[in-house]
């Protein structure tokens, strides 16, 4: 019997084929991408003037000329990341990473650590960031070798480690070194993830969680990557900056951890009111119903800042600059919270 006798099955097959095609189109950056536009993602995956090297079905891509300068820093980072990841994938195919993961030590429970910190103390759990430099602030700290230990001693629940070399002077070597130094805190790989391969790679380097940025990933990618994280026993911290991104992410099933970035990654403008704005009204209710842990991120400098975002409904904060720049980062944590949170 022919499949056309079963219209429902045929419809499902058509839908799957259409989804697969959409993913492919997204991956090869077709026409600045219909799908990205429909989700109002302004960040293009790669420079539109690169030579067409991909095919979808019978069609060869004719990428349009023009607009080959990144429109903002985030787009520039993503275009560079695309080139970097393509080269890394050639050197280290997924099959090699999967083999390495088979023998890797188990991951640590990132979400569990944040919940324990929050529900144990009723304070916000701290994700302390190991960040040498950033595009907006330049070099923040020359030497941060002992900083992870100081953070842990100072009461951090988890650590965030920048692994991008070009823009943040970070690296996977830092992630590996921190893991090998006997740090117990779960580790977030703070990267610009545009390809699922990077999640496997992060896992081989000791990450317990990865960052997925809604401004650069369409829903299908977030969905797919979240599933990969679950499969690898890792947490996915999904970053949003505006209402549109928050609404998209709240529609995706299985999201457990959302981070509201107070920094606009296209303009560098920071505003901690952003956290409050995105948690108000119906969005806050949905987050509560779905039992999602929300992290407040960027530009948090004082106990008043922490109290403000906590009152808005966040359960954890991700903090870089205000503690990484201090001579004694452990003590800086107490200063930030207005009390010793290591007890
Ligand atoms: O900080 C930047 O300049 C930046 C530019 C482009 C993409 C990401 C960027 N930063 C990542 C972050 O948002 C921060 O590292 C993180 O939120 C911590 O912020 P802070 O406590 O203000 O250092």
To which H or E segment does residue 116 belong?
A: helix 110-121
Mean pLDDT for all residues in the chain: 88
Per-residue pLDDT tens for 3-54?
A: 455 566 666 666 666 666 555 555 555 544 566 667 778 788 877 665 545 4
Domain containing residue 224: CATH number? 3.20.20.70
pLDDT over threshold 60, residue 179: yes
Q: Is the pLDDT confidence value at 284 over 70? A: yes
ipTM: 0.97
Instruction: Note the pLDDT tens digit of each residue in 85-104.
Output: 999 999 999 999 999 999 99
Q: Report the pLDDT averaged over residues 299-322.
A: 96
pTM of the model: 0.86
Pair (232, 103) in one structural domain? yes
State the Cα angle at 132 between 127 and 133, rounded to 5°: 105
The Å distance, Cα 320 to ligand 1 centre, comes to 8
Task: Tell me how far the alpha carbon of residue 248 lies from the centroid of ligand 1, in angstroms.
Answer: 22
Q: Within this chain, do residues 251 and 110 fall inside the same structural domain, yes or no?
A: yes
Could you tell me the residue range of the domain that residue 49 belongs to? 3-69
Out of 72, 81, 129, 134, give the residue to mutate to test ligand 1, the one with the largest number of ligand atoms within 8 Å of its CB.
134
Residues 103 and 64 in one domain: no
Taking the C-alpha atoms of residue 309 and residue 88, their distance in angstroms, rounded to an integer, is 38
Lowest average pLDDT, out of 41-50, 101-110, 114-123, 306-315, goes to 41-50
For ligand 1, is residue 73 a contact (CB within 6 Å)? yes
Give the CB-side neighbour count of residue 278, counting CA atoms within 13 A: 29
Report the atom number in ligand 1 closest to the C-alpha of 319: 21
Residue 58's pLDDT is: 54
Q: Is 190 found in the same domain as 319?
A: yes
Domain assignment present for 84: no
Q: Could you give the percent of the chain with pLDDT greater than 90?
A: 73
Between the CA of 16 and the centroid of ligand 1 the distance, in Å, is 37
Tokens linked to 140: 């923040």
Does residue 77 lie in a domain region?
A: no
Taking CA atoms only, the protein residue closest to ligand 1 atom 16 is: 298
Instruction: Say how far apart CA 156 and CA 332 lie, in whole Å.
Output: 11
How many structural domains are present in the chain? Answer: 2
Q: Is 101 in the pocket of ligand 1 (CB under 6 A)?
A: no
Q: Are residues 15 and 144 in the same domain?
A: no
Quote the pLDDT of residue 26.
52
Q: Is 75 in the pocket of ligand 1 (CB under 6 A)?
A: no
Residue 64 confidence (pLDDT): 45
43-52, 152-161, 188-197, 267-276: which range is least confident on average? Answer: 43-52
Pair (48, 114) in one structural domain? no
């Amino acid at each position: 019997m022919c499949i056309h006798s079963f219209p429902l099955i045929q419809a499902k097959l058509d839908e799957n084929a259409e989804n697969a095609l959409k993913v492919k189109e997204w991956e090869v950056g077709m026409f600045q991408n219909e799908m990205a536009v429909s989700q109002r993602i302004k960040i293009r995956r790669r420079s539109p003037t690169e030579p067409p090297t991909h095919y979808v079905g019978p069609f060869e891509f004719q990428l349009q000329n023009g607009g080959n300068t990144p429109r903002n820093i985030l787009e520039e980072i993503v275009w560079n990341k695309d080139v970097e990841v393509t080269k890394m994938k050639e050197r280290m195919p997924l099959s090699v990473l999967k083999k390495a993961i088979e023998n890797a030590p188990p991951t640590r429970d990132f979400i569990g650590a944040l919940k324990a910190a929050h529900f144990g103390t009723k304070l916000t759990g701290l994700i302390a960031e190991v960040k040498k430099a950033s595009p907006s602030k330049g070099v923040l700290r020359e030497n941060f070798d002992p900083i992870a230990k100081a953070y842990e001693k100072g009461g951090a629940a988890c650590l965030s480690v920048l692994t991008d070399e070009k823009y943040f002077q970070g690296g996977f070597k830092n992630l590996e070194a921190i893991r090998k130094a006997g740090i117990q805190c779960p580790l977030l790989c703070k990267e610009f993830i545009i390809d699922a391969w990077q999640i496997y790679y992060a896992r081989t380097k000791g990450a317990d969680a990865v960052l997925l940025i809604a401004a650069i990933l369409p829903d299908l990618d977030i969905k797919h990557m979240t599933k990969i994280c679950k499969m690898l026993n890792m947490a996915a911290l999904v970053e949003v900056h505006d209402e549109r991104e928050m609404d998209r992410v709240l529609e995706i099933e299985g999201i457990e951890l959302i981070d509201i970035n107070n920094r606009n990654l296209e303009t560098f403008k920071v505003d901690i009111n952003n956290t409050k704005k995105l948690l108000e009204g119906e969005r806050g209710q949905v987050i509560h119903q779905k039992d999602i842990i929300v992290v407040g991120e960027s530009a948090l400098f004082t106990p008043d800042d922490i109290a403000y975002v906590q009152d808005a409904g966040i359960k954890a904060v991700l903090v870089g600059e205000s503690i990484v720049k201090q001579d004694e980062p452990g003590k800086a944590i107490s200063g930030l919270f207005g009390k010793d949170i290591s007890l």
